[in-house]
Structure 1
């Protein structure tokens, strides 16, 4: 067979093969479709309709040049921690949703049973359950039955505790039951008459489970520029999802304001600590000044006063430079030692006059807050591109700030050194004054410096408080949460899924079965794995009608398939007058005996003398189907204990004789290798037109190889869905190596008649009962 032709056919042959199998198994598809549509029907009937609730919010720009903080500081010291692109992470973060769940009290759940199952009684709960948080934590996961007995009483019990089912409690009464302490408070304007004796189930759900549930089902989609965010929820109770989104937005705004004011609060706290230290210094200085004046009546001369005033001016400037150096050093230490930048904005507010440097510091604080915020929402994922980019920005800003501060340190040190030189010259003139005057002047000078610092810090504190008070949210609700359209029924979608599954499941089963199977299923399977010609195929016959199918029903489709095989065999051996055929297979059970008997019968129907030899000396079979005996047969002749005339038995079919196997010998292969086998076949060629030899399976013993040496043509049996594919490959290997010649493959027990390759004997087919 031409391999190139096989490959060309494979492109369409496999698809055609699958489609033909699908058509032949239409009942399988119908059964699966009935099941999937039944499942879809009951799913539609017992599934609650789902509503989609949507809302839109606007995230305004974080930069507001007209804010009070910007007006006072030249930059906004409020903590702009929420930046574009991060809101979707924050809104779905665990802390935000957890807080929303707790404030909505979703951990308390009342349900009732209806025809579908448990139904949430949201909005019409029979009571408000007041439970201490510590006790509630210990009872998460528990469920109790709650029955309204009348407008003033209710029953509360566990399902397994029916002894307490008749106990009545008053609304508002403190109840202690199975470790749970609570008060069931009546709801105002509630029509209790419609729920009397209705059984509710009250359960305490763990907030972690509810948080994860809402984290998974909350849909947050940011617009292209991140300024507009769409929120959506799917749920069976739209009021519940509306309340959740409303509360989520409220919690998000509160959280944003709290964190926006966080930096201003840190600045105020930092300045307050410095003010306390300066105040303590002022008190100490005032006490020392009073003491000196009490001990001495020192009065300053006019020249001394002038000198001290000049020194005050110089040292005041020097102290300011020294304070700046301390702030610069603290800035460098904070930047280089950690990622905790809590004090940076406060330090910048009181000690940095350079607008560019203050902008860099604000950017650094904001970038670090971005990282902290993203990590709260997504975890410390180092592969997160947003976090990675923010960390790169932090390192870049730290380098720029360090360079700028180091330059300021160098400049400030030069200025301070110059002032210190002037102060030293003035002090040399003052030291000639009396000691009391010197002490008093020094105290006055320290007092003036401290008062100036006190005024400066108070001014900065006031500015920070104004900035904090002026903070406002950047979130604006554009569309409040509301149901979009009506309830989403999944009827059509479920039926489409049922149709899809009803087709793909059986189709996948058929394809998977073929893919996983190692059996020969189609004629094409043989043609793909061997160049040995296919002699033909024999259709499956009804079981229980015996082996003589051709003889008993000569017009059946099976009989016609044997006639076609007879013609093909004559074609293969057209130049031989008296023909010998050996019939073998790979394993037992592939139909050698059946094929041998019916092939011999169809040859006999053409008025040709035929002898059928049962050469499977290990498992004698043929004689029984003809009602003959096996007491004397081939084994006797080969052993020399019987003559040829004694082993040939006539059958009821004209022109057909058989030679049975005879008693099972201890050495079958050795007997077949005996020269007498060749002698027997040579003598039989003179008397018979056709000799058919039924041998043992080729894959089990070597008997068939011995007999093939005497054959004009060898027939190898392959049975549909029975013969291993490996057997066909092994036969191909024997054929390619020359160990097996003049061979063809007969495909037996073919079930599907749609693969009738040109035989066209459908009108002979037996009626199916």
Structure 2
């Protein structure tokens, strides 16, 4: 059965140390400052290089304007299906490709006028002193800036750098591209203002504006852009309807040039008004075109019958001839006019039927009133059919939904069926009327045949003339009606507030957003870097790390030795570093007392790997014992890599090895030092079998002999994590100090130490955290010699901070530069 102790492993699992992470962040404050400085500098450079963005808008209203001259006889207009439908249609039209193509072509916005700004080229439309009038039927240099420099008020120079021997040209009447050959290099040529430029890649005439201002010596640039690309850019016009007033539309655009925006907004509305009015006048326009073509034919016929009547009257007493036939002429004219009206209606119905059965575009249908048809069913349905057909063609470029087109087709098909039924009914009624009129004409013609031949001939000629004249006058009247109706029509679209530059309008760039983003990135980037360092760094950072990973007591924290010599306690006995070793001495004395150690006391100092400060700690712990007038000896037992000799400027020729092999006596291997009460026994020459010497009887004899002479015996041993020498020496020691170096010793080494303690390989072990620096950087919990506040100045020697120059000098000396 599992015991609760079996789960103790989970208690030691290391969770994320937020406190340590925050302290780590504080230690890298310079990174954050540098990162913020760089990010804010980039944001500033971006902001000053960005062109200013302006927003312009115009407001229009949609209101159905009925024609004041509208009657059943002048039904030459149609509506777009009510205001709500119009608003949707107008919004769609304004963003359609076909509409914007017309506006861009009218304004020639595919031509860019530029000037060189401080950082980039800027749009100078409306600010340059000239404009170019291009020949659309000929090619223009595509997509490359053309430099223009005014040498005098009436002469300018063209500069174009050609990198290749072939350049692209665009022809704006067909919107097609081509290529033409040029000479590589810079093309330079002078022209007079107003002179036609005729080149394979350039065809224009440069003209000055009305008030050009001062422009001599200035340089400008012209660029011809892709037509479709320009249209696509302006299709993005923002169209918004007013929630409170559904018939109000606000158009807005954003760009770098206010003049260009204002002109485009007003031009697009004017183009919309024109197109809407043209559509509204479709009946009238179609009718006028139909009447004009009919009048041309009637003029010829009327002239012919007039000449015939003139010829007949020559040499005759016209009054005698006309006497007796006048009443018949008037009567038959009345019947002929009626018959012509019926025939015109039948012809219109036949034409309409054929048109409905053979065509899909009904926008060109003439008004029924042109044939004298006033049947409201016919008039209304033809009007609806033209309206739907026009709307469908308007949406063809802007709407891609097949479902919408299918709905239009269904509606138009329904109207067609109704119209065809109406045509059948109307024609049957007209056929009956035609038969009645024809019978009356036949009866009258029979009576006329009883008159003299001259009277019959005159009535015949006058009959043709009067009919032609009556028809001609009727068509003239209807044309006049159509002109009046067309002239009286008003567009349903009205300006409420035309676009105008009244100052302001600046909407960007959002400099504050860039600075906020820079601030965010300036903090985030070093934060991620610190997090990465913190996450991957598996070295001991502070005392909290030690306490979390082991129950072995931490009896001292030693700072960084910033001096050249490792004899820190002796050289500066009042320093904070010296006090930290005195604190360790006090802890050791407590440990010895706790262990009931009498007489000579032994201390072994070891660590996990090399470089953690064993020798440094050994020397200074021995020094604090010696300064308290206790006879102390340090034994250098790192037989593989001895370092103790160099610290005291001694020769390592004689030492422990010589004693163990019985070459020397204790007196011969002991070295006196310049520190009172402190002696040193070096390791001696490096032996081939250091481990065997450590476990030999000679080592035991040496320790026993030294206990007779000294109060404290300090063993400076090799790393326990690399070799087993220190484990063999543990049997001679009362206390073991395990050195852990900040930001150097790996956390895994603490786990190995725990295992050695558990197995009993090391006894009475305590830990010293060495190399502590920057409390913020590593988050130490102990502060021997660091946390006394303002009192420390009276206890410790005050160390002046080194200048940057001195730090660089020390680094250079350390690296022998």
Flag whether TM exceeds 0.5 (same fold): yes
* Distance in 1 of aligned mates of 2:493 and 2:206: 37
Give the drift of 1:711: 5.1
* Distance in 1 of aligned mates of 2:670 and 2:728: 22
Q: Measured at CA, do residues 75 and 185 of structure 1 come closer, stay the same or move farther in structure 2, by a change above 3 Å?
A: closer
**Contact persistence 2:635–2:683 (CA under 8 A):** yes
Q: Does 1:509 align with 2:526?
A: yes
Report which stretch shifted further, 393-402 or 162-171.
393-402
* Match runs of 1:209-358 below 5 Å: 211=230, 214=233, 223-224=242-243, 228-229=249-250, 231-235=252-256, 237-250=257-270
Q: Measured at CA, do residues 573 and 168 of structure 1 come closer, stay the same or move farther in structure 2, by a change above 3 Å?
A: same
* Distance in 1 of aligned mates of 2:202 and 2:644: 86
* Distance in 2 of aligned mates of 1:570 and 1:663: 34
1:114-142: CA deviation from partner (whole Å, max 9, x where unpaired):
66665544324243223344655543223
Aligned residue for 2:318? none
Give the drift of 1:210: 7.0
* Match runs of 1:451-530 below 5 Å: 475-483=493-501, 486=504, 488=506, 501=518, 505=522, 508-509=525-526, 512-517=529-534, 518-519=536-537, 520=539, 522-523=541-542, 526-527=545-546, 530=549
* Distance in 2 of aligned mates of 1:589 and 1:212: 72
- Work out which of the residue numbers 143, 146, 170 in structure 1 matches 2:146: 143
* Distance in 2 of aligned mates of 1:69 and 1:660: 128
* Distance in 2 of aligned mates of 1:109 and 1:254: 27
Report which stretch shifted further, 598-607 or 81-90.
81-90
Give the drift of 1:201: 3.1
Aligned residue for 1:281? none
5+ residue gaps, structure 2, are: 1-7, 163-182, 291-348, 369-376, 422-478, 803-817
* Distance in 1 of aligned mates of 2:71 and 2:697: 118
Aligned residue for 1:153? 155
Q: Measured at CA, do residues 672 and 246 of structure 1 come closer, stay the same or move farther in structure 2, by a change above 3 Å?
A: farther
Aligned residue for 2:320? none
**Contact persistence 1:345–1:361 (CA under 8 A):** no
* Distance in 1 of aligned mates of 2:717 and 2:92: 77
* Distance in 1 of aligned mates of 2:86 and 2:658: 101
Q: Measured at CA, do residues 633 and 221 of structure 1 come closer, stay the same or move farther in structure 2, by a change above 3 Å?
A: farther
Give the drift of 1:629: 1.4
* Distance in 1 of aligned mates of 2:572 and 2:84: 92
Q: Measured at CA, do residues 154 and 643 of structure 1 come closer, stay the same or move farther in structure 2, by a change above 3 Å?
A: same
Give the drift of 1:507: 7.4
Report which stretch shifted further, 57-66 or 571-580.
57-66
* Distance in 2 of aligned mates of 1:362 and 1:671: 115
Report which stretch shifted further, 689-698 or 1-10.
1-10
Aligned residue for 1:614? 636
* Distance in 1 of aligned mates of 2:737 and 2:386: 92
Q: TM-score under structure 2 normalisation?
A: 0.58
Aligned residue for 1:595? 617
Q: Does 1:123 align with 2:146?
A: no
Aligned residue for 1:554? 573
Q: Does 1:723 align with 2:744?
A: yes
* Match runs of 1:381-460 below 5 Å: none
5+ residue gaps, structure 1, are: 273-319, 332-340, 381-386, 413-461
Give the greater-gyration-radius structure (CA).
Answer: 2
1:65-108: CA deviation from partner (whole Å, max 9, x where unpaired):
99999998999777999887898787567776666555433443
Could you say what secondary structure the match of 1:513 adopts? helix
Aligned residue for 1:185? 207
- Work out which of the residue numbers 556, 562, 567 in structure 1 matches 2:586: 567
Give the drift of 1:171: 1.8
1:618-638: CA deviation from partner (whole Å, max 9, x where unpaired):
332121011111113345556
Could you say what secondary structure the match of 1:154 adopts? strand
* Distance in 1 of aligned mates of 2:200 and 2:561: 74
**Contact persistence 2:739–2:768 (CA under 8 A):** yes
Q: TM-score under structure 1 normalisation?
A: 0.62
Aligned residue for 2:557? 537
* Distance in 2 of aligned mates of 1:400 and 1:212: 32
**Contact persistence 2:604–2:735 (CA under 8 A):** yes
Aligned residue for 1:171? 193
Aligned residue for 1:657? 679
**Contact persistence 2:655–2:682 (CA under 8 A):** yes
**Contact persistence 1:582–1:694 (CA under 8 A):** yes
Q: Measured at CA, do residues 20 and 638 of structure 1 come closer, stay the same or move farther in structure 2, by a change above 3 Å?
A: same
* Distance in 2 of aligned mates of 1:7 and 1:667: 41
* Distance in 2 of aligned mates of 1:368 and 1:636: 111
**Contact persistence 1:33–1:498 (CA under 8 A):** no
Aligned residue for 1:584? 607
Could you say what secondary structure the match of 1:482 adopts? coil
Give the drift of 1:249: 3.9
**Contact persistence 1:77–1:467 (CA under 8 A):** no
* Distance in 2 of aligned mates of 1:699 and 1:361: 97
Give the drift of 1:553: 0.7
- Work out which of the residue numbers 773, 783, 801 in structure 2 matches 1:751: 773
**Contact persistence 1:548–1:598 (CA under 8 A):** yes
**Contact persistence 1:157–1:165 (CA under 8 A):** yes
Q: Measured at CA, do residues 507 and 115 of structure 1 come closer, stay the same or move farther in structure 2, by a change above 3 Å?
A: closer
Could you say what secondary structure the match of 1:481 adopts? coil
1:147-182: CA deviation from partner (whole Å, max 9, x where unpaired):
242x33222223689998985422222335683333
Q: Measured at CA, do residues 173 and 562 of structure 1 come closer, stay the same or move farther in structure 2, by a change above 3 Å?
A: same
**Contact persistence 1:634–1:659 (CA under 8 A):** yes
* Match runs of 1:735-750 below 5 Å: 735=754, 738=758, 743-750=765-772
**Contact persistence 1:62–1:83 (CA under 8 A):** no
* Distance in 2 of aligned mates of 1:601 and 1:749: 18
**Contact persistence 1:68–1:466 (CA under 8 A):** no
Aligned residue for 1:767? 800
- Work out which of the residue numbers 602, 605, 614 in structure 1 matches 2:627: 605
Aligned residue for 1:200? 219
* Distance in 1 of aligned mates of 2:135 and 2:589: 99
Matched residue pairs, number? Answer: 635
Could you say what secondary structure the match of 1:629 adopts? coil
Give the drift of 1:224: 4.8
Q: Measured at CA, do residues 97 and 32 of structure 1 come closer, stay the same or move farther in structure 2, by a change above 3 Å?
A: farther
